[in-house]
Structure 1
Amino acid sequence: MAGGSSSSSSSSSNPRASFETFFEGWLVRQEHFLEELQSVVETCEESRHEDLEELSDRVLSHYKQYYEEKSRMCSRNVFLVFNPTWFTPFERTFFWIAGFKPDLALRVVSVAAGDLTPEQNQSIEKLKKEMRVVEKELSAELARVQESVAAPELMVVGGRAPVDGEIGNIDGVLEEIRADMVAVLSNADVLRTRTAERLVGILNPVQKVKFLAAATQLQLRVRTVGLQRETRNRARN
């Protein structure tokens, strides 16, 4: 009981450390899923569709755990989620609103899933158009929030320190910005997850496994390259 209380207290007092611990464990499980996916891909044409669906569901559930934990972290410190220290600078070059662009999943499926039927291509094209409309709206909303950071209420006029009443106004503006950033990030993550869910729903069981294997491999490969670059940079310095 005491150990659980200490863990809870540490988690609430240092959300970054808590999330980094979760993320490290999540990545280990992600690597295990990749091994399983790659093994199944080699024989998926002969596998039972029920087994392929079960594996796909487990992989998607694993991704869902990440987004649930990220959402909790966002409610604690959204500013840190927008500048996540648990990702390398190289990984962050692929980011859009604190995560990979939904469009990346569509590019992966076009390469990894194999031959698609005309009906599948039509459904994916429809999904792509709908996704890009929402993506554009969210980018515009984020730009509006970022512009509000430079609002007059946050500027110290003439280099003087703000008085008590002005501090209250600044705190109110900052809280409004924080809430707006949480909303934008939450909607971006909804777009990411719904795009993946709809995309998987278009694919057959064999295509699902191939797509998830390729997407997981890409994510882990980008991370590996990022870590290698960081190691080289430290060695130079």
Structure 2
Amino acid sequence: MLIQWLKLVDDVAKLGDFFMAYVQQLENSRLKLTQLEQELQRARQQGIFISSSVDQTHSMSGNGALAFDMEYARWLEEHNRQINELRSAVNAHAGDNELRGVVDKIMSHYEEIFKQKGNAAKADVFHVLSGMWKTPAERCFLWLGGFRPSELLKLLSTQLEPLTEQQLSGIANLQQSSQQAEDALSQGMEALQQSLAETLAGSLGSSGSTGNVANYMGQMAMAMGKLGTLENFLRQADNLRQQTLQQMQRILTTRQSARALLVISDYSSRLRALSSLWLARPKE
């Protein structure tokens, strides 16, 4: 009997230690949740402060998004200058060597914006993916933070005639491979969104009770980890865009590449102009 009683006392003591450890875990989780709520509150206050001095679209994005928007504006200004230089060279029937120099310069300039987007995504991947740095009309055609390569190739195939059979075949193959890569990335994004939805749904219900604070924090930590893959999706999409432009240049002649860059620029300019016209339309 004495042995059983001592064993019972020992079990109770172990249970008490376990309970105290569990209480301590809950207290730590409560403190972390309180800290998170305070950080969110500070972020909201900072967003309100920023929104009083800059556009509302940047209010919660922070300095990283605003800096990228300014970099993109400078990039676009330089891009337009280079396009005007290319247009003048084409209209003046410049030689291939002169055209190639301007084309290569524009291609290098495209690489620069892809690098800038990658850096900006580290600060605010949502801002870059959503295309808030673009005009409203451009955002309508946005795919993972930029243009869809297969659609760009479809546009060029109708604007650069005449093309040789070999060129047509090369563009068709490039369009098919681009479409396959786009589909794979799109499916990956859909799977990520579904996984995020399931993770967040797992923290609903009685998450307001003290006993579920640890579970709530665990679910949110999992969701944050999954969101980290968004940068990878954006990087892969931009790599696909860059490779498409490079492959396009290999398929086309120098003069055709120059015309292709002009077509791409003119199309983007029309989208931006459409946004301006839409916003300036009479509103009844």
Structure 2 length as normaliser, TM-score? Answer: 0.72
The 1-side partners of 2:85 and 2:154 are apart by: 23
- Among 248, 253, 258, the residue aligned to 1:204: 253
Residue 137 (structure 2) pairs with residue 90 (structure 1): yes
The question of 1:227 aligning with 2:276 is answered yes
User: What amino acid does structure 2 have at the position aligned with 1:201?
Assistant: R
Can you list the C-alpha shifts for 1:26-46, whole angstroms capped at 9, x where unaligned?
1211221222222222233xx
Higher relative contact order (CA 8 A, sep 6+): 1
Corresponding residue number in structure 1 for 2:68: 19
1:146-203 residue CA offsets vs partner (Å, 9 max, x unmatched): 1122114455433643754234313322322222211111111111111111011111
Which secondary structure does the structure 2 equivalent of 1:236 belong to?
Answer: coil
1:184 match:
233
Q: What is the match of residue 50 of structure 1?
A: 97
2:38 corresponds to: none
| 8 Å Cα contact 1:114/1:207 also seen in 2 | no
Separation in 1 of the partners of 2:223 and 2:275?
A: 33
| SS of structure 1 residue aligned to 2:208 | coil
Q: In the alignment, is the contact (CA less than 8 A) between 1:73 and 1:81 conserved in 2?
A: yes
* Pairwise CA distance, 1:136: 1.0
Structure 2 partner of 1:137: 184
SS in 1 for 2:228: helix
Query: Partner of 2:112 in structure 1?
Result: 65
Larger Rg belongs to: 2
Contact 1:153 1:169 survives alignment (8 Å): no
In the alignment, is the contact (CA less than 8 A) between 2:196 and 2:226 conserved in 1?
Answer: yes
Counterpart among 111, 124, 136 of residue 77 in structure 1:
124
Closer, same or farther: CA 131–91 of 1 in aligned 2, 3 Å? same
CA distance in structure 2 between the partners assigned to 1:20 and 1:103 by the alignment: 26
Conservation of the 8 A alpha-carbon contact between 2:160 and 2:260? yes
SS at match of 1:182: helix
Distance, in Å, in 2 between the alignment partners of 1:175 and 1:41 is 50
Structure 2, unpaired ranges of 5+:
1-61
Does 1:158 pair with 2:214? Answer: no
Contact 2:192/2:226 (<8 A) preserved: yes
Report the 3-state secondary structure (helix = DSSP H, G, I; strand = E; otherwise coil) of the residue aligned with 2:197.
coil
